[in-house]
A and B are shown apart, each in its own frame.
Chain A
C-alpha cells in the first residue's frame, strides 16, 4: 500500500483530505526503480479545479506512455494544509507516489490564469525548491511552465527554467531525451538550458537580456549568447485527429468542478474576436475527425464510468460535424444514460433542438455572449453576433419552453461609451418584452428571467487589443452602477438581473497579463507577504499587492491604463505565434474604424497562421 505523506492527524484536521491522497481510478503507478525521469505536473490551484483541466490529462497520458518516465500530479495545498505544512516543515509531495517533489526531475506548471502566480511560488516554496531559477543547481528539478499565460512569461520569468510556448504534444520527447543526456553526464545545468533553448518552442528566460528606456518601456530584448535563438516559434499540432488523447482519464473520488468526460472536438476558433487571446494563439483552427471523436467518446465513457460528456472547443457551433456527433451521443444517452453538456453553442434552431433533447428546458437557462451592448461596439470587437441573432434565438427558445436567459457582457472595451453600456440594459429588456409579446399568459410557466453579467475587459497579449488602455477601477465601478440603475428603472425590472465582477482583481489581472520582468520582484514580495489563492475572493488581499508595487516603485497605470504605441517593443514580441504583428495592427485599426473582419471560413484575412500548414487555412483547397 502507498504510504501517505501526511499523518492521520493532519489529514483529519483539514478540509477534504481526499485532495491529497491520490490513488484515483486510472491514475498511473509505476515502479520507480525502472524509471529514469520523474515528472510532476502541477496545476497551481486547488485539486477540484486542477483535476478539471484537460491539458494536464493530455500531458499526463502522453508522458506516461514513455516507459522511462513517470508523470505524477500535484495541486496547490488549500490554505488550511498550507499552514500545517509550513508549521511542521513538511515538503510538498506528488499525489501518486507521495514522494517529495524536490526529488523529481521536472516540475511542469500549467499557466491558465494570471491570478495563480502567487500559487506558483507557494508550490515551489512548499516543495523546498529554490524559488528563483538562478539559485537552482544540477539535481534540482527543472521547472517548466506552459499554457496560455506562457505567451507572456515575462512577469514570472525569474521563477522558471524553461517555458514551453505552444501545444504540449509536440516537442516534449526531444526535451526529455536531452534531459537524460544531461542527467547521466557531467553536462552543466547552464549547458543543458542552452541546448534546451535550441529546441523549437522552448524559451529559457535566463538566457535573455532586457534593457529599458527611461520611460520604462523596453529598449532592447534579446539572447545573451549567439547560440540562443532570437525568436521562439509557437508549437502547433498539425493533425489533431492523430494527436495523443487520454483514453483512460483519471476518475477522482471527490466531486470536482468538471466531473465529466471532456472531448476536445476542435482546437482554435475561426471567429477572430478582437479581445480573445485563445482565438489568436490557437490559430489555425483544427477540427478533429468525427470518427475519431466517436471512438474517443466510446472509449473514455467505458474506461471512466463517467455519466456525463462535454465538448471542449472555443466555438462548438463551428464544428462542422456537430450534428452527426451529437446525434450519435444522444443515441448513447438514451441507451446508456449518458448526459451531454454543450458549452459555447450559438443559439439557433439546431442548437435549441439538440438542447431540448438533452436537458430539462424548465430548469436550464440559455446563454448568449453578446459581449457588448450595441451593434457599434460589437463591430469594434468583431463579435459576429447581431441583435437579430440574439432576439431570434431568444424568441425560439421562449417558444421552445425556456424562460431563463443569461447574457454575458464586458465593460471597458476600447471606444466604449455610456450609450454602449446602456445597451446592455436595453437589450436585456427587449428580450423580456419579446417574451411578453409572444408567449400567451396561459402558456407562461414561471417568471421569465434575463440575467446579464458583466466582467471588465482585460487587454491580453497577442490580441488586436494588446495596445489598448484599460479603465481605472473607479470608472469600472461607476459604469457598473450606471448599468445597474438602468436595470432598476426598467419596466420589467422584476424579470431582469444584473451582476458584475470585482474591479480590483481585474486590474491586477491586467497588470500581470501585459507585464514585463520588473514584475517578478513584485510577485515575489506579494507572495512573501503571505498572499496565495488570489483567484479566490476570500483570500485576495489588495493591500499585499499595493504594498509590493509601491515598494518597487511600480506604477500600475504604466501597464494597464496607458495606451501603447504600435511601435513599442512589447514584452512578448520575441514569441512568434504565426499570426503576425502586422495583422494585429490591421485589426486594431479596423476596430477603431468599427469594421468587421470576416471569419476564417468566409474569407482568409491573411493573419499568418497558414504558415503552420494545416487546419482551416487549407480546408477550401483540399
Chain B
C-alpha cells in the first residue's frame, strides 16, 4: 500500500540537509514500529521517496514523502506514532492512502508557495511567527536601525510593479556559463501579505523556480542590495495538478484511512 506523508521542517532543523531528513524518517519509521516495505537483497532499504528537496535555512510546513507499506492502521494512528517517536521540528501532519496508479510525489510536483518575512520587520510584529522572532534575537547585531526596515518596506511597495513587468529577466549563473532567463512564467502568484511577501512558484521537473532567485530579482528591481539573511523563507505547501490542471496540495491525491 502506497502512502503519502506530509511533514513540517521547522526551527533549528532548517540546518539539516535533505539526505539527513531522509535518514531521519527511515529511523523514525522503525522506531514507530510501522511496517514499511523493504527492497530485496543483502542490503535491503526502505521503499520510500521524497518530493521536492528543500534548500537549507528554509523552513516548511509542506514537505512530502511517499512510502510503500506492508500494513497500515489509520491515518491518525500513523501520524501519532511518527510524531511520538520523532522530534518537534519534523512533525507529520497528514498521512493518506494513494490510489495504486498514483505517480510518486517527486514526479508530480508542479508548484510550491512561500511566505517571505523580513527580519527587520518581524522584530516588532507581534503577529510574526515564533521562528522569525528567534532569528532576530539570534543575530542580535543586524542593523536594528531604521534602514533595514525602510528597505524592507520599500521592497514591499515594489512587489506589484515588479510583477506587472512583461518579462522578468535574470542572469542565471551555472558552472559553465551565464545566461539570461525570463523567470516571469514561473511566478504564478506574488503579493504582499501581512508585511511579508506571498509567492506561488513553479516547482519540480518541468520548471523549477527558487524563491531566493525571485527575491534577488525583486531586490534588484527595487534598487536594494540583496542579502539572503535579511529575510526568512518559509514554504507553505507543495502542489500538484489535478485532472483539470488546477493546483492541489499533494496530499489531496490520496484519502484518509
**For the complex, is A302 an interface residue (Cβ under 8 Å from B)?**
yes
Contact between A18 and B27, CB atoms less than 8 A apart: no
CB distance from A54 to the nearest CB of B (A): 19
**For the complex, is B138 an interface residue (Cβ under 8 Å from A)?**
yes
**For the complex, is A23 an interface residue (Cβ under 8 Å from B)?**
yes
Q: A253-B13, A255-B23 are in contact. List 17 more A-B contacts (CB 8 A).
A: A1-B130, A1-B134, A2-B12, A3-B137, A4-B12, A7-B140, A8-B229, A21-B12, A25-B24, A25-B28, A253-B24, A304-B27, A305-B26, A305-B29, A305-B30, A306-B30, A337-B38
Among A9-17, A401-409, A510-518, A520-528, the stretch in contact with B: A9-17
| 11 A-B pairs (CB sep. < 8 Å) | A3-B134, A8-B135, A8-B138, A12-B56, A17-B56, A18-B20, A21-B12, A303-B31, A305-B27, A306-B27, A339-B43
**For the complex, is A359 an interface residue (Cβ under 8 Å from B)?**
yes
Q: Roughly how many angstroms separate A22 CA and B12 CA in the complex, as a whole number?
A: 9
Q: Roughly how many angstroms separate A7 CA and B139 CA in the complex, as a whole number?
A: 5
Contacts of B24 in A (CB 8 A): 25, 253
**For the complex, is B241 an interface residue (Cβ under 8 Å from A)?**
no
Contact between B31 and A21, CB atoms less than 8 A apart: no
Closest B residue to A19 by beta carbon equals B15
Q: Roughly how many angstroms separate A302 CA and B29 CA in the complex, as a whole number?
A: 11
The residue from B11, B16, B43 contacting A18, defined by CB atoms under 8 A apart: B16
Contact between B138 and A7, CB atoms less than 8 A apart: yes
List residues 266-304 of chain A with CB under 8 A from any CB of chain B.
301-304
**For the complex, is A251 an interface residue (Cβ under 8 Å from B)?**
yes
Closest B residue to A336 by beta carbon equals B30
**For the complex, is B86 an interface residue (Cβ under 8 Å from A)?**
yes
CB distance from B184 to the nearest CB of A (A): 28
A residues lining the B interface (CB < 8 Å): 1-4, 7-9, 11-12, 17-18, 21-23, 25, 251, 253-255, 301-307, 336-337, 339, 359-360, 363
Contacts of B57 in A (CB 8 A): 8, 11-12
CB distance from B111 to the nearest CB of A (A): 26
Contact between B87 and A23, CB atoms less than 8 A apart: yes
Contact between B26 and A11, CB atoms less than 8 A apart: no
Q: Is the interface of B mostly helix, strand, loop or mixed?
A: helix
Given contacts A1-B130, A23-B13, A359-B42, are A307 and B20 in contact (CB under 8 A)? no
Contact between A25 and B138, CB atoms less than 8 A apart: no
Contact between B43 and A305, CB atoms less than 8 A apart: no
Minimum-distance CB pairs A-B, first 6: A305-B27, A305-B30, A305-B31, A360-B42, A17-B15, A253-B20
Range of interface residues on B (Cβ < 8 Å): 35 or more
**For the complex, is B76 an interface residue (Cβ under 8 Å from A)?**
no
**For the complex, is B85 an interface residue (Cβ under 8 Å from A)?**
yes
Contacts of A254 in B (CB 8 A): 16, 20
Contact between B38 and A253, CB atoms less than 8 A apart: no
Closest A residue to B86 by beta carbon equals A25
Contacts of A9 in B (CB 8 A): 139, 229
**For the complex, is B17 an interface residue (Cβ under 8 Å from A)?**
yes
**For the complex, is B245 an interface residue (Cβ under 8 Å from A)?**
no
Contact between B138 and A1, CB atoms less than 8 A apart: no
Contact between B138 and A4, CB atoms less than 8 A apart: yes
The residue from A23, A307, A337 contacting B12, defined by CB atoms under 8 A apart: A23
B residues lining the A interface (CB < 8 Å): 11-13, 15-17, 19-20, 23-24, 26-31, 33, 38, 41-44, 56-57, 85-87, 89, 130-131, 134-135, 137-140, 228-229
Contacts of B11 in A (CB 8 A): 1
Given contacts A1-B130, A18-B17, are A305 and B138 in contact (CB under 8 A)? no
CB distance from A341 to the nearest CB of B (A): 12
Contacts of A251 in B (CB 8 A): 27
CB distance from A261 to the nearest CB of B (A): 11
CB distance from B155 to the nearest CB of A (A): 19
Given contacts A8-B139, A23-B89, A359-B42, are A253 and B134 in contact (CB under 8 A)? no
Closest B residue to A254 by beta carbon equals B20
Closest A residue to B46 by beta carbon equals A337
CB distance from A504 to the nearest CB of B (A): 35
Closest A residue to B32 by beta carbon equals A305
Closest A residue to B137 by beta carbon equals A3
CB distance from B44 to the nearest CB of A (A): 5
CB distance from A80 to the nearest CB of B (A): 15
Contact between A307 and B134, CB atoms less than 8 A apart: no
Contacts of B228 in A (CB 8 A): 12
Contacts of A360 in B (CB 8 A): 41-43
Contact between B13 and A3, CB atoms less than 8 A apart: no
Contact between A307 and B138, CB atoms less than 8 A apart: no
Contacts of B87 in A (CB 8 A): 23, 25
CB distance from B42 to the nearest CB of A (A): 4
Q: Roughly how many angstroms separate A17 CA and B56 CA in the complex, as a whole number?
A: 10
Closest A residue to B228 by beta carbon equals A12
Q: Roughly how many angstroms separate A591 CA and B96 CA in the complex, as a whole number?
A: 69
Q: Roughly how many angstroms separate A339 CA and B41 CA in the complex, as a whole number?
A: 12
Closest B residue to A7 by beta carbon equals B139
Q: Roughly how many angstroms separate A363 CA and B42 CA in the complex, as a whole number?
A: 10
CB distance from B71 to the nearest CB of A (A): 14
Q: Roughly how many angstroms separate A301 CA and B30 CA in the complex, as a whole number?
A: 9
The residue from B23, B33, B138 contacting A253, defined by CB atoms under 8 A apart: B23
Q: Roughly how many angstroms separate A363 CA and B131 CA in the complex, as a whole number?
A: 47
Q: Roughly how many angstroms separate A2 CA and B15 CA in the complex, as a whole number?
A: 13
Contacts of A1 in B (CB 8 A): 11-12, 89, 130-131, 134
- Between A8, A302, A303, A307, the greatest number of chain B beta carbons within 10 A of the residue's beta carbon is seen for A8
CB distance from B118 to the nearest CB of A (A): 14
Closest B residue to A301 by beta carbon equals B30
Q: Roughly how many angstroms separate A11 CA and B135 CA in the complex, as a whole number?
A: 12
Contacts of A2 in B (CB 8 A): 12
CB distance from B9 to the nearest CB of A (A): 11
Q: Roughly how many angstroms separate A336 CA and B36 CA in the complex, as a whole number?
A: 10
CB distance from B138 to the nearest CB of A (A): 6
Q: Roughly how many angstroms separate A305 CA and B27 CA in the complex, as a whole number?
A: 4
CB distance from A16 to the nearest CB of B (A): 8
CB distance from B77 to the nearest CB of A (A): 18
Q: Roughly how many angstroms separate A4 CA and B89 CA in the complex, as a whole number?
A: 14
Contact between B138 and A337, CB atoms less than 8 A apart: no
Contact between B56 and A307, CB atoms less than 8 A apart: no
Contacts of B16 in A (CB 8 A): 18, 21, 253-254
Q: Roughly how many angstroms separate A355 CA and B138 CA in the complex, as a whole number?
A: 51
